[in-house]
Structure 1
Amino acid sequence: MRKRFASFAAAGLLAGLIPAVPATAALVTHCIGTGGAVTVPNDLLVPAGESCSLTGTVVTGNISVQAGANLVVAGGKFSGEVRVAGNGYLDASTTTIDGPVILAAGGYGVFLKDASSGTVTVRAKGTTTIDSFLFVENSTITGNVSAQAGEVRLDNNTSVTGSLNSTGSYYTDVHDSFVDGALSVLNSATGSVVCGSSVRGKATFAGNLGGVQLGPNGPLDSCASGGFFGKDVSVTSTTGGVTVDDNIIDGTLTATGNNPAAQIAVNNRIRKGTVTDSAAAAARSAAPRPAAPRTDDSAKAEERRTDAVQEATAAGPADL
């Protein structure tokens, strides 16, 4: 568990060599500890290894969470972007983030609840040992979500105005949420679940190792209902099992090259028909390879998030 801090440091650094730029534009406020309903009229930085907890705070500039640092904010308003470094963590609830949120390679995680933000990016893990997570609940993301690592879960009435593109994640799940653009999940280690959600654009699932579950009655996760897909749906080259149940697809469903062959329930409403493997190809892929259900990895990530929140809120007052 990270060391807890109960001190505050504030510093202003002025780059006076740039003409015609207001002095406040070059200021950076360093936050260690807790802060309240004040306005920070410049950039905010959480130093490496430190914790900052804010309630009702307005930041007019950009936010930087350095390596190993925690930023926990409730009821805040951030006008700029939020960049989180390796092993850094962002927890934002009932908070508006006007700019993008970017989690660096090996970032600890991002948790958004009852919040709004610009585009969200999770960088590829690379050579780091930490596999990131992005958990979003009842929030609005304006623009695209791009994830290249870790656990990705959109839940509880989350809305994405752009597309959701995931490549090489541990899993990417969408529950009871809305994606206005396309949905793409490629090469996920334990696959993807889409339940009770709407996707207006094309949905593509390819090369996923742990299976794909669209709708209820699948082996990966509990699910109450199917979803709506506004365009074509393609599930290909997937191992671990594919189930498609209780969905409305306003396009063509393509399910080919999966091992075992996809299980497509009769209660799906597929407007433009289904493309599947030939009988011979389906028979060759019929050897049972059941998909592995979700493990406790999500619970572990939730525990990591809870620890980070406790560490940040345990810090002392910050004189912002």
Structure 2
Amino acid sequence: MKRLALLTAGTALVAVGLAVPSQANLTTFCDGVASDVTIPGDLVVRADASCELTNVTINGNATVRAEGSLLLTDSTVEGNLRVNADAFASLVESHVKGNTRLVEAFGVYSEDSAHDLNVVATDSEFYYSLGSTHGRNINSTNAETFVESGWVSRNVDSDGGYLTDLYDSVVEGNVSVAGTDFGSVVCLSEIDGDATFTGNGGLVQLGAQAPVQDCGSNVFGGNVTLTGNNADGFVSNNVIRGDLVCSDNSPAPVVSDNRIRGEEQCDSASAAAFSTRSSVQSAETAQNRKDEVRGAIEERVAESEEAAEEAGPAFD
């Protein structure tokens, strides 16, 4: 049974063996597996459906409807990618030339992929980027955000959600993390603009060797500001080319062994003043949450692959 159908002007066309008169208003619905094809217009994954595409070019936008799943490998979306309520998208060695938008989504996993325009996640479980590049901004509201071994050409702006972490990554603009439950960890990264951490809980760790182990050092091109966090805080072993400002944090962060070219205006505490048990628990909570997300991604991918295979090939 063919699962990929082309709809134009209200008339359904089977994808194989038919000439398509125009790309205007052309929508392809996918439920199943396809490879080595070009979709002439927009792609839609219906609610609860699973679509697995390899070496596919989508010449329009891609939309994943509620609780659907889209798995892209070595594929290109010429337009925008939108992932709706409880839906999921996985991109491996793929390319989205437009915006990537998550709206109450289960999440998006991006590995060794490219996002030319903005990634915007709103009221979603997570956006997880591993080895991917971002041509503009990552903006998340009430969504967990992980950027690992990645590149962001503009800003990272995160408000709410459980946590926002940066590992081994470059952000050419500013980073702002506010109101997360479990805080933020920045390790082995370069942030060329200002970095601001405000009103977070749990753990805020910039560099340092503990409580998150082997976090290494970071380079901050602008100011670093920690304000109003109710979190265990550690700022160590960093190069800060602007000012370091810490105020109204409870407890005050531990600050040590930084190279600060601007001014240090920081209410800080000694490491001895911290409860080691509390700090370790905060680090474990953040790591456990990250492991949970990784496990959820693996489970959703496996379930989606199985569902797509059961749905059958897109083309006979």
| Length-normalised TM-score, structure 1 | 0.87
2-structure distance, mates of 1:14, 1:301: 41
Of the candidates 225, 229, 244, which is equivalent to residue 234 of structure 1? 225
2-structure distance, mates of 1:90, 1:7: 22
Q: How does 1:128-143 map to 2 (within 5 A)?
A: 132-143=125-136
2-structure distance, mates of 1:101, 1:250: 32
Q: CA deviation at 1:299?
A: 1.9
Aligned residue type for 2:81: V
1:29 is the counterpart of 2:28: yes
Bigger shift: residues 289-298 or 27-36: 289-298
Q: CA deviation at 1:239?
A: 1.4
2-structure distance, mates of 1:69, 1:223: 38
Match of residue 185 from structure 1: 177
Match of residue 262 from structure 1: 253
Q: CA deviation at 1:268?
A: 0.7
1-structure distance, mates of 2:58, 2:52: 13
Match of residue 141 from structure 2: 148
1:12 is the counterpart of 2:7: yes
Aligned residue type for 2:73: A
Match of residue 317 from structure 1: 313
Q: CA deviation at 1:260?
A: 1.2
| Length-normalised TM-score, structure 2 | 0.88
1-structure distance, mates of 2:204, 2:291: 21
Q: Is the 8 A contact 1:250 1:270 kept in 2?
A: yes
Moved over 3 A (4+): 286-291
2-structure distance, mates of 1:98, 1:28: 18
Residues 244-281 of structure 1: CA deviation (Å, up to 9, x unaligned)? 1110000100011111111101x21000121023x9xx
Q: CA deviation at 1:295?
A: 4.5
Match of residue 104 from structure 1: 103
Q: Is the 8 A contact 1:240 1:290 kept in 2?
A: no
Residues 199 and 287 (structure 1 numbering): CA distance in 2 closer, same or farther, change over 3 Å? Answer: closer
Q: Is the 8 A contact 1:55 1:74 kept in 2?
A: yes
Q: Is the 8 A contact 1:95 1:114 kept in 2?
A: yes
Q: Percent identity?
A: 31
Match of residue 113 from structure 1: 111
Match of residue 15 from structure 2: none
Say which SS state the counterpart of residue 8 (structure 2) adopts.
coil
Q: How does 1:154-233 map to 2 (within 5 A)?
A: 154-156=147-149, 158-219=150-211, 221-233=212-224
Aligned residue type for 1:13: T
Q: Is the 8 A contact 1:15 1:26 kept in 2?
A: no
2-structure distance, mates of 1:91, 1:56: 14
Residues 129-184 of structure 1: CA deviation (Å, up to 9, x unaligned)? xx51111011101100001123211002x000010000002100000000000000
2-structure distance, mates of 1:173, 1:201: 17
Aligned residue type for 2:75: G
Q: CA deviation at 1:7?
A: 6.7
Q: Which runs of 5+ in 2 are unaligned?
A: 12-20
1:274 is the counterpart of 2:267: no
Residues 77 and 198 (structure 1 numbering): CA distance in 2 closer, same or farther, change over 3 Å? Answer: same
Q: How does 1:3-82 map to 2 (within 5 A)?
A: 8-14=3-9, 23-82=22-81
Q: Which runs of 5+ in 1 are unaligned?
A: 1-5, 17-21, 126-130
Match of residue 248 from structure 1: 239
RMSD: 2.1
Say which SS state the counterpart of residue 185 (structure 1) adopts.
strand
Match of residue 18 from structure 2: none
Q: CA deviation at 1:218?
A: 2.9
Say which SS state the counterpart of residue 290 (structure 1) adopts.
helix
Q: How many residues align?
A: 295
Q: CA deviation at 1:242?
A: 0.8
Aligned residue type for 1:271: R
Match of residue 85 from structure 1: 84
Say which SS state the counterpart of residue 306 (structure 1) adopts.
helix
1-structure distance, mates of 2:9, 2:181: 47
Say which SS state the counterpart of residue 11 (structure 1) adopts.
strand
Say which SS state the counterpart of residue 302 (structure 1) adopts.
helix
